[in-house]
Every structure is written in C-alpha cells, then in structure tokens.
Structure 1
Amino acid sequence: MVNKLLRWGREGLVLLALLGAVLLVIDWWRAPQLPATFNSTPLHTLDGRNVSLAALSEDRPLLIYFWASWCGVCRFTTPDVSRLTEEGENVMTVALRSGDDQKVTGWLAHKKMTLPVINDADGRLSQNWEIGVTPTFVVLHKGAIVSSTTGWTSYWGMKLRLWWARLS
C-alpha cells in the first residue's frame, strides 16, 4: 500500500511538472511585445488623464491588465486587480473592445469597481502590443517587460510578479 501511494505521489509530481512546463511554453508563445511607438504613444484614461506607460513604470513596477467586459475569466481576475489598486499598487488597465467610454464606466459602476482604465474600444492598442488573449497581465519596469501571463492568475500571483519585478 505504501509503495502504491509513493508511486502515485511521484506520478502526480511528474504530471504537475509537465503541466507547469506546458503553461510556461504557452505564456512564452503568447507573450506581448512592446510596440515600436511605445514611448511616444499618448494614452488617455476614462477619468481624462493623459498617461505614459513608460513613465508610470519608471519608479516602480507597473501591472498592465488587458481585460474585456465580455471576458468570462476577467470576471474572476478583475476584482483582484481592483483590490491591488485599492492597496496602492501601480496598476493600469486596458479595456479591450468593451464599448465606448460611457459603456465601460457603466460596467465598472455596476460591478462597484474603481480602476484606472484606458479604453481600447477598437482594439488598436492591444493589437500593437500583440495581445491575443484576455485577460493578459504584463509587468513593466523601467519601460521593459519583466513578466507576462495570460488567462487566470490569482491575487497572490499578481503580487508575486510585482514583488519579483522590484528585485530586478
């Protein structure tokens, strides 16, 4: 019986290692790219601010969260991003093809969330970043991509990525 449990444990660890390797390869394949016009592209938030992602990431790591109101997985990750914002983390979000400014603002109000949002109504900004999946999380520090991942990630996964970027 003990040998059987050890064998199952070993096979479980191998399966987890293979799954982790597959997920790393998928993240590498889907990794966004900094656009050529990254530093010179003016961006506007829903609240009327003009922002530069390079400037926002200069002093401390910036979590850029590409999401959509129609994205099923985003319904689980957006509250965690909102929590990071409330805690004072450096966060900027990009609403991908979620409607005009009024519609995105209404969606956030309905969900009782306050986020700094750049509305990418036509998807051009996300296309320049080569974003193909929502949600996509990009950690930018000093104008360079430190890490990225797609799909669901936990609150602690986001916190860990930001912490790791501070060390680099």
Structure 2
Amino acid sequence: MAGKLLRLLRELAVWLLIGAAVSLAVDYFRQPALPQNFASSTLHTLDGQPVDLIAMSEERPLLVYVWATWCGVCRYTTPSVAALAADGGNVMSVALRSGDNATLERWLAKKAMALPTVNDPSGSLTRQWDVQVTPTLVVISRGEVKSITTGWTSGWGMRLRLWLAE
C-alpha cells in the first residue's frame, strides 16, 4: 500500500512539473514585446484622469491588466483583479476593444467593479504595446517591467508577482 502511494505521489509530481514547464513555455512565447517607452505612455482613465505608470509604480509595484469585455478567460480573471484593487492593490486596467466609454462604464457598473480603467476602443494602444492575448498582466516597479503573464492567473498568482517585484 505504501509503495502504491509513493508511486502515485511521484507520478503526480512529474505531471505537475510537466504542466508547469508547458505553462511557462506558452507564457514565454505569448508575451508581448513591450516598447522601451511602455511605462511612459500617456493615458487617461474613463473619468478623464491622467495616468502616469512610472509615478504609480514608484512606491509599490503596479499591476497593469489588459482585458476585454468579450474575452472568455477574462470573465474568470477580472473578478480577482477587482478584488485585488478593492483590497488596496495598486492596479490599472486597460479595456481592449470593449466599446466606447459609456458602454464600458455601464458594463463595469453592471458587474459592480471599481477598477481604474483606460479604454482602448480601437486597439491602437495595445497594438503599440504588441499585446496579442487577453488577458495580459504586466507588473511594473519603479518604471521598469518586472513580469508579463498572459492567460488566466489566480488572485494569489497576481499577489505573488507583485510581492516578487518589490
């Protein structure tokens, strides 16, 4: 019995390592090639407030969350990002091709999400940043990109990335 349990645990460990390796490889190949001036982009939130990614990332790491209302995976990731923001996390979101400002504001209100959001209705900003996958999460610390992740990420994964960027 103990031998079977040991073999099962060993197989589980191997499968977990294979899964982690595949996940990291896919993430590496899907991450955008951000321009050198990524953090210095001039942005404005839905309510017209200017956004300075460098200044926002000076005191503590900033999570830039690129998502879309039509993105299936974002349905699972966005609530974790909203919870992080509600807990006082340093978060900025960019909505990709999700309609005009009024449409996006109604969608956020309907979902009861209070995220500081930049609207990219035509996708020009995300094209400039070379973002090709939603969701994409970028962690910036002191104006420098520390990590880029694409696809689903758990709330704990986001918090861990922000903590590691400190």
Give the TM-score band, short-chain normalised: over 0.9
Deviations 1:83-141 (A, max 9, x none): 11111111000000101111110100111111100001111111122211111111111
Aligned-residue offset at 1:39: 5.0
3-state SS in 1 of match to 2:94: strand
| Other-structure match for 1:89 | 89
RMSD: 1.4
Letter in 2 for 1:54: I
* Structure-1 separation of matches of 2:82 and 2:11: 38
| Mapping of residues 7-156 of structure 1, within 5 Å | 7-156=7-156
Deviations 1:34-84 (A, max 9, x none): 324435531111011011212211221000000100011111111111111
The alignment of Structure 1 onto Structure 2 pairs a total of residues equal to 166
Letter in 1 for 2:13: L
* Structure-1 separation of matches of 2:73 and 2:99: 18
- Unmatched runs of 5 consecutive residues or more in structure 1: none
**Identical aligned residues as a percent:** 56
* Structure-2 separation of matches of 1:110 and 1:35: 34
* Structure-1 separation of matches of 2:51 and 2:147: 21
Change (3 A) 1:49 1:80: same
Q: TM-score under structure 1 normalisation? A: 0.92
* Structure-1 separation of matches of 2:111 and 2:74: 12
Give every structure 1 segment of 4 or more consecutive aligned residues whose post-TM-superposition deviation is greater than 3 Å. Answer: none
Q: TM-score under structure 2 normalisation? A: 0.93
